[in-house]
Amino acid sequence: MEDVSLFAIAINGIFVKNFLLVQFLGLCSFLGVSKETKSAVGMSAAVMFVMILASTAAFLIYEFLLKPFGLTFLTTISFIIIIAALVQLVEFIIRKFSPPLYRSLGIFLPLITTNCAILGVVILNVRLEYGFIESVFYGFTAGVGYTMVMLLMSSIREKCTVLRIPEAVQGIPHAFFITTLLSMAFVNFFGVIPT
């Protein structure tokens, strides 16, 4: 692995390789949840939280269990089980210790297990051969990037509710057109990081 600075990872995770707009990860929940800011905030917080935890856990399992025993063909299956177990655990802990937080975050947690952004970040960590600190940090920055786009999108969509849109374009096609414009802005970040 060549040396990558944490700053480069941050810029990469938030802007250049933004999970939603450039890598197309986690789009299903993105379109569903970004209708209003309140649920967008809840979902983003939940995603960011699980991303950090999952990157940590996945790194430990991959490095100390799968790699030494030559079980790397089980990578996908073990990662998805880790994520599912983590989500369940987080749900239990939050419900026990902070009922108000559970009420705002709880409904988003089950959605996260099958969110490709989470599995995407842990698989990317393995493919890019990041070390422990890099992995966790990449998880965090990917979460920040996700949150940023989610907030942008939900506030734009909230403003758009007063517009008169042709019937055929209402709903998801319209959301896609907004995403196109946002994505065009993010495409300009290509080449910020020399590869």
In the complex, the residues that contact another protein under the rule CB under 8 A are 21-28, 31, 73-77, 80-81, 84, 114-116, 119-120, 123-124, 127, 167-174, 176-177, 179-181, 183-184, 186-187
Q: How far is the CB of 177 from another protein (least distance, A)?
A: 5
- Here the tokens at position 103 are 């009420």
Using CA atoms, how far apart are residues 4 and 194, in angstroms rounded to an integer? Answer: 12
Based on CB atoms, which residue is closest to another protein, 105 or 117? Answer: 117
Using CA atoms, how far apart are residues 137 and 29, in angstroms rounded to an integer? Answer: 23
Q: How far is the CB of 83 from another protein (least distance, A)?
A: 9
Classified as helix, coil or strand, 134 is: helix
Q: How far is the CB of 148 from another protein (least distance, A)?
A: 16
Q: How far is the CB of 47 from another protein (least distance, A)?
A: 13
Using CA atoms, how far apart are residues 195 and 16, in angstroms rounded to an integer? Answer: 12
Classified as helix, coil or strand, 191 is: coil
Based on CB atoms, which residue is closest to another protein, 105 or 118? Answer: 118
